[in-house]
Each structure stands twice: as C-alpha cells, then as structure tokens.
Chains A and B, each alone.
Chain A
Amino acid sequence: MHIEGWSIDAFGALTDVERTGLTEGLTVVFGPNEAGKSTLRHFVLGVLFGFPAGNTNYPRYNPSSGAMRSGRLYLSSDGEDFVLSRLEKKGSRAGESTLLGPDGKARGDAELTALLGGLSRKVYDKIFAIGLDELNDLAALTDGDLQDHLLSAGVTGAGRIATRARNELRDRAGAIHRARAQSTEVAAIREELRAVEARLSEAQHAARDLGERREALEAKRRRADDLAEAERAAERVVQRAERLTELWPAYIEAADARAELDAMGDEAVDLPADTSERLTRALAAVEATSTEIATRTEDLNRALAQLEVLEAGHLPDLAALQPDLAALQHRLGGWAQQEEEARTRGEELAELKRRLAAELDAIGVRDATELTRIGKVVAARDHLKVTRNAFDEKATARRRAADDVEMQSKEVFEAEAAAATATEAMETAPGDLSAQSLRIESDRAAREALLLDRLSEDLKDLESYRRDLAAAEGSARSGDQAEAKATSGLQPRHVLVGLAVALAVAAVAAGLVAGVLAGAVLGVAAIVVGGASLAVAAGSGDHLDEGARRELAAKIDIIERKCVDTAQILGFAGLPEMGQVAAAKAERDRQSAALTALVAADNRLSTARAAMRAKKDHLAELSRAHDRALQAWQEWLAEHQLPAALRPEGVDEWLTHLDSARALADQISVAERRLSELHSALEEAPKSVIELADRAEQASRTPLRSGGPSGSVPVTVTPPRVDSSIGELQAVVAAIAEGISQAGDAEREVARVRDQCEVFRGELARAEKFAAEARADLDATYATAGVTDEVQLRRRLAEHERRGVLTRDIAAFERRLATESGSQAETDRTALAERTPDEWVAGRARALEEARALATERDEVLREVGAIESEVASIEESADLPTLALQREELVERLVRSIRSFTVLHLAAGLIDRTLERYLDERQPAVLQRAEAHLDKITEGRYTTIRLDPADDATPRLTVVDAKGRPHEPRGLSRGTVEQVYLCLRLALAEQHHQSLPLLLDDILVNFDPERAETTTRVLADVAQNRQVVVFTCHPWVVEVTESVVPGLHLVDLESRVA
C-alpha cells in the first residue's frame, strides 16, 4: 500500500490543503519549520489509525479554527485506488472513518484493517516510522541501554524494548519471591505465618489443657472445703470457751440462791401470790366508798331544798286552753288558704274581663249581653263559610287576571323595545313602519342585492375582456404573418361570436331601457358567451383580425356602459371598483338583515298588544262579578244584624273571636260565684280569735311570784278587729300560744327537781352498799393470810417476795444454759462445776490460733481456685483460637495470591524470553543480513558485519565488525555511525515485515555528514524499490542530496502548497 495524496479539511494549522500524485518509491516532503511538516505526518497517521483522543500520548492537533479534525488520504494497494476519509466525531474515540474502494463504494472496517496489515498505530510507529528524536535519544543512552535499543530495533522496532519488559517483569517477580531471600513479599508473609501458627499452637495447647485445669480446680475446691470445716471446728472450741466464761458468774449466783433457799425452810410458802394486791385493793375500796357516801348525801340535801322552794309557788292554769288553741291554729291555716285563693280569683276575674272586652271589640259588639243573640248566628256559620269561599274564588280569579294583564304588559314592553332596537339597527328606517311599507322596503333590498351581484360579475367579465383585447392587440403587432393568418383564418366560430355579441348588445340595451332585470341578465349572458368564445380564441393563441378586435372592443364598451348604468341605479358615481361593489354588497346584506329583524319585531309587538287588550277585558268582567258578590254579602249581614264591618275574608277570624268571647263570659260567671263563697267563709275568722284571746287573758290575769325558776311572764294580747286579715289573726294566736308555752315550762322544772332528788337517794344507797362490801373483802384477806391486821400481813408478804427472787435467779441461769449451750447444756454444767475460767481462756486462745492458721490456708486455696476458674473461663470463652485461625487463613490467602502473582510474572517474563530466543534464532539472521548490507553501503564498506554475541544474562550483545574484521561495541562508534547502525536495523526490520506499508522518516539525515547522507539516501532509494518511503525534512540540502541521488524525485514543497 502506498499514499497517493491527501486532502486536509482541517487538522492543526492546516486547512483546505490537497496534494495528489505521490507515487511508490521515494518522496521528500520539504518545508521549513512551522510549515506543517509534523502536522502532515500526524495527519497521515491520524487518518490511517484514528485521530488521537485526549488521553493518549499523541498530540491532538485540534484545528485553531475550532472545526472538527477531518480529511482524507488517497491510497493505492495492489493497483487499486482507495479513499480513506476520517472525521472527528463526538462519542467516537478515533473519529468516524470511511473507506471507499475503486468502485466508489464504501468498504468495511475489515478491509481497512487488512489494508493496514492489522497493525495498530503503536506497532506502525515502532516498525514503519523512524524519527529524528529516536536517533537523538541514542546519544544519551548508557552502554546497556544502547545495546537494548539496537537489539530491539531489529526485534520489535522502536519503543518498548522486549528485554527491558522482560527484566521489569523479572524484577517485579523478584520483589514478590526469590529463593532464600528474606526481603520479599512472600518471605514477609511466611514470617507472619510462622508467628501466627506458633501462637495458634499455643492456643490449641491451652485448649487441650482445659481438662487438666478442671481437675486441678476440683481438687483445690475440695481442699478449700476441708479447711473450712476444720476452721469451723476451731471456731466452735473458741465459742464454747467464751460461752462457759460468760456463763460462770450466773452459775455462781444460781448456786448461792439455792443455798439461801435451802436455809429459808418451808414456812408460808403457800401465801397466795395476789395477797399484796388484794390487801392494797381492799384498803383503797374502803376509803373510796366512805368519800362517795359523803358526796351523795350533800347532793340530796341540796335538791330537796330547791324542790321545797318550787313547790311553794302558784302556776297559772293555761294548759286547759291548749286543745282550743290547736283547733283555732288549724282553722286559721284553712282561712289563710281561702284568703289567698280569693286574692288569686279576683286577679283572674279581672284578667278574664279584660280579655272579654278585647274579644267584643274584635267582633264589633259593645256589650256582652249581645253575645247570646249573636250566638244564634252560629247556626248560620256554614252559610258564612260557603259565602266566604265563593267570594274567595272570585277574588282569586280576579287576582290571576290582573297578574296576566301585568305579564302581558311586560311582553308588550319587551316587544316595543325589540322593535326600537331593530329600528335603530337600520340606518334609514322607513318613516312608515306599517307591514306594507316594510314589505316594499324588503323587496327593494332584495333587488339591490341582485343588482350588486350582477354588477360584480359584469366587472369581472369586463376585466377579462380587456385583458383579452390587450393580448390580441399585442399579437397583432408581433407580425404580419400572424395577422394574415388571423385574417384568412376567420372561422364560423368567430361569426357566431359576432352574432352573439350583437344579440347581447341588443338585449342589454333592451334590458336597460325597460329596467327589467331579466333582460339585463339575458344580455349579459349573451355577452359572456360571446366574450368567452373570443377569449378562447385569443387564449388559444389564435390571432384575431381587426374586425374581431373591434367587435371585442364594442362588447367591452357595451358591458362598460351597462355597468355604469347599473352603478348609477345603485347610487355609485361612475364605474365602481370591484372592492367598492363588494363593500356595497356587504352593507346591503347587513341592512337587509336589519330589516328582517325589524319586521319580526313589529309582528311580535302587534301580537302582544292584541293579547293585552283581551286580558284587560277579562279582568274587567271579573271585577264586576266581584263587586256584585260583595253587595250580596252586605245585604246578608244586615239581614242577620251582624256588624257591617265584617268582611268575607275575615269570617274565620271573626268566628274565632266570637267563640273566645263566649267562653270568657262563661269563665267570668263561674269565678264570680267562687269569690262570693270565699268572702262569706272568711267572715268567721276574727270572731273565733277574739273569743280565744279573751279566754287566755282571763286565765293569765294572776301574775307569778318573782324568783321562780322560769316562765314568769303573763299572757297579754291586743284583741283583733273584725276586719283583721288572717295574718293579723295568726299573730294574735301566736302570742297566746307563747304564754301557754311559758306556763308549761315552769311546771316541767318542778318535776325535774323532784326526779333529781330520787336519783340522789338511789346513789346514796348504792354507796353505802359498796362500803360494806369493801370492809368484808379486807377482812377476808386478813383471814386468808392467817393474820388479823395489816401490820402482820405486810411482814408475811416481804418474806414471800425474797423466796421468789431466789427462785427466779436459778430459773434464769437454767434458761440461759439451755439457750446458749443447747445440746451441750449438761456437758457445760459439768464443766462449770469442775473447771475454772482460766482454763477456758487458755483453751480459747489455742483454738483461735488454730482457726486463724486454717483461714489463711483456706484463703490461699480459694485464691488458687479463683485463678484456675479464671483460667478455665478464659479458655472456654476465649476467641483467640478462631481469631488466630482467621489470621492464619488470611495470611495463607495472601500467600496464595502473592505466589500466584509471582508465577504469572515469572511465566510472562519467561514467555518474552522464549520468544526473544526464538526470534533471534529464526528471524534475526535475515534482519541482520539486510541491516549489514545497508550499513556496508552507507559506510562504503567500512563496516561490514553486525553480529550478535552471547552474554552472561542470556541476552545477546550486538557487535559491529569493520572491514578488517575488528569488532566494535556500539558505545565505541561515533554518534553518526551508531545512528546509522540503528537506522539500518530499523529499515531491515521494516523490510522484513510482510506488509509493504509506507515508511515515514522524519529528518533522519540531519546528523549525518554529506557523504553518509548521500549513501544513506541511496539506501533509502533501495528500500523504496519495494515500498513507499516518505522523508520529511526542513533542510534544503537534504532535498538537494536526495534529488542528486534520485533523479525525478517526487518532491512535495509544503511552502508552495502546490503538488
């Protein structure tokens, strides 16, 4: 494949640049700096492999104009031409490419890939692109790197060096794992694993010790229990010694008491226990009863004196009045109720009379006495209601008729308003709005509308004929031949047209003269037919002769005049425009509609007024019937002497008032009778009270003596009047009752003092009886104790008390011994009898010492138990084992991954190594041979051989041998020679590639001297025999050298931008 040219739409600084005509062989692209040489080279690569995206190391060359990168390459492969276009596109990493084949049809991506030998840009760069920068870089390389570069140049081309890649992989693998190395990743994991496994082993051993620790725990617990038991035994010894020591004093006291009791003998041991209490109680009772007797005697004497005083006084005999007083008080209650009823009844009577007066007034009667007479009218009640109903019907009918009249008057009003509106809508309403006038007006409007339509049609025709005439005249002027043809070509059709026009003129004239629309229509129709024929003739391209044109002009004249006449009829000044006619037609349509509305409104108004008149007549008839019924009613009232003011519509209310008045009159009659009865009954009350007051005053006329115990007030009352109210009478009776009550109180006081005297006598008798009993009890106490007086008895009591004290002391000791010694009581008793406190104190001290020793040992054992328990619990609850196991597994996993990574890197490095080895064995010889040939030619036989020598690290070293067989390390060669060796290897590698792709060389000659530049150019020319070689340079001398070596060199001068 080779490049035949390019067309750059936009790429970096280059826009709209096109070159074609490049051929296979050597091409030099010349351009000074900034001429776009590098841009062009990147453009070529960009179109071939894709425009670089932002995330690559290649420059993007975005157009400064902001346009998208785009352009195309013209390619040739195996004699076929292709066009490869590429357009930068968002979302597409490399831009959108299109490959057109020789047939102009688009080819698929596979064909492009095949065209490029399946290479990526990276690989292409490494094999087929050689740049000055690569050559320059060689100068800065160390010996080893230079070896690598040169070796790689013949193996992988430029860029990544296989040996370096391999060595890096080895380094990475070595960082992970190396046999016997301690600083690798795997070694670190190994150490961690060993440590964790050691800890894990310890934890497992600890877990296995669990059973043993549990047995030790049980043994310690048993020992602790034994020690606790021994300690408790020692404590019991201590406690017994302390108990006996404490019991010792009580024991001694009890022994002394027993001795004293034995010495007292058995006298008076049977004295009752309560003797002392009985003596004290009996003596106290004797003394208390004596005091009681004295007190009761004094009380009795004082009451008897008081009774004597009271019984000596005189008491009024008022008690006999008590029954009469009670009866009178009861009757006064009844009278009070009657008096209240009389008052209430009086008020009710007054209210009834007021209401009756109101009812009489309501029914038009002056006196209640007339009610009886009027009551007879009740018999005529039905008649009243029937009359009233008939009257109501008439009144209702009249009201409805009146409503109808009202409604109709509204309709008349609305019809008048509608007529007024319709009238206003007409700008020129007819002065006479009669139906006849309106119809005439309507007909006139219709005619005008028709005329307007016709005028509009005529105007259209007129305009059409004028155009035809103008066209005919134009044709006539265009040539004699046409004219002759038109003249000789007069056809029967044209004769017919002439006749039609003549007829039309005559008809229109007749129509206008007669003013008959039909005639005008006929005329116009004829003109239209004739004109149409003429128009057809003109439009068809036929030429009209002069006569025909004149006929057409005459027809136009006729229609024009007809239009003027019609316009005059319609009120236009002169011949109107089409627009004016249309406006007039619209105005006429509007007026016609208004007129129609006016006629409708007028009809509605007439109808409404007729209906109004009919309804008013009906109302008048009903009013007259109503008046007649009213007159009959008045006559009937007079006949029955009923109030003339009674209206039929008030009959129901009047009858209600009448019934109410009659009921009230009845109630008043009953109330008056009851009031009379009450007044009669109340006249008895003052008499009865006056009588009782007189009797009371008489009974209390003798006053009481002063100094009495109570109630010494005489009964005095003010006698009542005969017209006193019941309340006043009740006050008098209350005063009498108060006097009677006071007399009763005095009598009750005498009785009370008498009863008190009897009580005092009874109490005195009981006190005397108690005194005798107390005396007898004291004597019995003496007798029981066998003594005769108090002194003897008290001596006997003292002896008895001492014996009791001694006995209780002995009993207290026995109880204490039983309580404190319990089952050991008898043993303790024996001990108390046989030993002394000193012995017990000594024994206690020994036991205490033993208990302390035992407690100390037990504490130690318990501490050990606690420790073992913690240990066991720790083992049982410990998560160390699973945690360590987890850590171990994590480390193993890390180890697995590290070993795997090591293996992968090792394998990868080995793979490169093997490939390199095979490459050097199988492919390198051909590359080297070709490179040697190039180097020989470039150095003109000075260096003839490039050799690969084995080295220590299995990577061969490259040696250059001169013509005399002397080997040279690359570092020992001049810079230019090293660059030439490198170039030879690169060229040889490219030549060995099975794809014949263009070699792109960027100013590779600049570091060469003129001779080497020339010889190198010759080598390039050799290479260009089999593939396209494009040399980019900015040096004119390179161009000159190349042109001198390669006659007819294809030069692309970027400055001229012309191919």
Chain B
Amino acid sequence: MKFKITFLYLFVLVLIAVTGVINACKTPEAITAKSGAQLWGENCNRCHNAPDPVTYNDDQWDVVAEHMRQKALLTNTEIAKVRDFLKSANKQ
C-alpha cells in the first residue's frame, strides 16, 4: 500500500514536472506570429547576406528553399513562410 501511495505521489510529481516543461516549451505567439520577411532576415543572415527576392523566379525559389531547408536545418513552418515571402516579393 505504501508503495502504491509513493508511486502515486511520484506519478503526480512527474506529471506536474512534465506539464511545466510542456508549458515552458510551448511555442510562444511571438514565434508563431513571425512573418516570412522577418524569418528571411533572421535565418539567412546567420550565414550569408539575405538574398534579394528578385534574384530568382517562383519556381527557382521553390527549389532553393528546399536546398536551404536541409542546409540550415530549418523547420517546415520557417522555410514555408520564407519561401512564400520571397515568391510574393519578387514581382516587379
């Protein structure tokens, strides 16, 4: 019986700790609300100058974005937003 109570205590403690960790890790709105333009500036400049959107056309950006996803180990959300921004900003 004592073992079961101890186990229950531990279970609750672990649950509280895990909940805390999950909340701490919850992606904040400031991150999810980032625009493609902001992510383009932040992530590209880590390694090189941020490219001018007019450098490539839509199809080329589709391919280059995939390349950079794998090179810079970006999340799908990040690269999708950056790609969409570049494709929207390359029209003159």
A and B: bona fide binding partners: no
- Interface residues, chain B, with chain A CB atoms under 8 Å away: none
